Chain A
Amino acid sequence: MLNDVLLLAATGFIAGVLGAILGIGGGMIVTPVLTLAMGVNIKYAIGASIIAVIATSSGATIAYLKDEMLNLRVAMFLEIATSIGAIIGALLTGVAPTSFLFVLFGALLVFSSWNMIRKLRGKSDSVVNMQDDDLSKRLKLDGVYYDKAVDKEVPYHVKNVPGGFSMMFGAGFASGLLGIGSGAFKVIAMDTIMGMPLKPSSATSNLMMGVTAAASATVYFFNGSIKPEIAAPLALGILVGATLGSRLMQHLRARVIRMIFIPIILYMGVQMVLQGFGVKIG
């Protein structure tokens, strides 16, 4: 039993570090380890992974707040779109054409990874979006963060609010209907569509993930999907990992974070497209 506890805590630690750096929650690391490596029933694996998302979010955000890395206004404004999307998605389970949506959202991830590769080859991570936007001004979404990797304050503007809002709605919709993590979509909405720098995008995504996951976690908690002997050591490992990961992230260059991010969303995208066509891998 001690072996299992240590293995779960170690898995959680790694998922927490990665999830906090990338803003993707860590469920995509936890679920395969639980089901494939440990033979855990998928029901309990899903329950554990939703706890993993909350632990990553809470562990990461308690480290961020003081450093003003996350943009609370962007988070709360976009959270409306995500949570309404998630509710509608959950309500449409069994009605909406899931295979089509898997292909659509998978293709979106593949396209975004291509987009990010172009960003990586350009110089855009050292150039901050200064484009003004009427809506983002009225909503006071512009922000400033302290980048420890380059040792200076970085003020930034937020653009294309309606585009980001729609993407967030889509991300919530997809997670409610298809049961996929929406962290990658959240980061893409802020980074690619709204022109926020990658680090605040990741931090803000992590905050939002926890809020969205809290609702579904309640369902899983009370319907017996959360096994304490799995979720407890996992959560502890993640809390430690995420606190460390978010500190580490502040010192990493955006380029480095992007280089870890790209293969992960590419993999997720391909996996989702294949699932849409009825092929299941991983």
Chain B
Amino acid sequence: MKQSNETKAKEMHDVEILIGQILRIGVIISALVILFGLILLMITQTSGYPGNVFPDKPSVILQGVIALKPFAVMMFGIFLLILTPVLRVVVSIYAFAKEADYLYVVITTIVLIILAISMVVGYFGR
């Protein structure tokens, strides 16, 4: 019994480290994209858009990212940053499932559902 507890503790530790790394990579990627956009802005001295315009529609941002327009790249990075807490909730569900803690799988899933609903409502209700 003690043996299996130890393996379980080690497994949990591994899961936590893995989650830590996933989140770290997520945050670093969004930071690098923002930084890349900022450097592009500094080098080209143009936002890629006329006057005070900046892109806020998904399609315009994506087209701008492909064309390497600085403002679009920055907005894309900021959007990735907004998604990092969502990523945190998702991987937490996975962690609790690994731990066979089904009460918290349910609780965390409820959090994710509330979050998803308010994001969708937020997008369409803007």
Contacts and interface: CB of A to CB of B under 8 A. Distances in A.
Interface of A: 1-2, 5, 51, 54-55, 57-59, 61-62, 65-66, 68, 72-73, 76-77, 79-80, 83-84, 86-87, 139-140, 207, 210-211, 213-219, 221-224, 226-229, 231-233, 235-236, 239
Interface in B76-95: 77-79, 81-86, 88-89, 92, 95
Contacts of B104: 73, 76, 140
A140 B89 contact: no
A222 B114 contact: no
A139 B104 CA distance: 8
A69 to B, nearest CB: 12
B115 A83 contact: yes
Interface centre among A2, A86, A219 (most CB of B within 10 A): A219
25 contacts: A1-B42, A54-B85, A66-B16, A66-B20, A68-B16, A72-B95, A76-B104, A80-B111, A80-B114, A83-B118, A216-B122, A219-B122, A222-B56, A222-B57, A222-B126, A226-B56, A228-B37, A228-B47, A228-B78, A229-B74, A231-B74, A231-B78, A232-B37, A235-B31, A239-B27
Contacts of B79: 221
Contacts of B107: 76-77, 80
Contacts of A218: 82, 118-119, 122-123
A76 to B, nearest CB: 5
Contacts of A224: 54, 56
B118 A215 contact: yes
Contacts of B78: 51, 221, 226, 228, 231-232, 235
Nearest to B70: A228
A8 to B, nearest CB: 10
B56 A5 contact: no
Chain B: interface size category? 35 or more
Contacts of B86: 211, 214
A239 B110 CA distance: 28
Contacts of B114: 80, 83-84, 87
A228 B82 contact: no
Contacts of B38: 5, 232-233, 236
Interface centre among B45, B71, B88, B126 (most CB of A within 10 A): B88
Query: Closest 9 A-B residue pairs measured CB to CB?
Result: A219-B122, A210-B85, A215-B118, A228-B74, A223-B126, A65-B20, A232-B74, A224-B56, A214-B85
Nearest to B75: A228
A128 B89 CA distance: 29
Nearest to A77: B107
A1 B110 CA distance: 44
Contact of A62 (B17, B20, B70): B20
Given A61-B88, A219-B123, A235 B47 contact: no
B19 A80 contact: no
A76 B81 CA distance: 20
Contact of B77 (A61, A219, A232): A232
Contact of B83 (A73, A84, A214, A216): A214
A122 B89 CA distance: 37
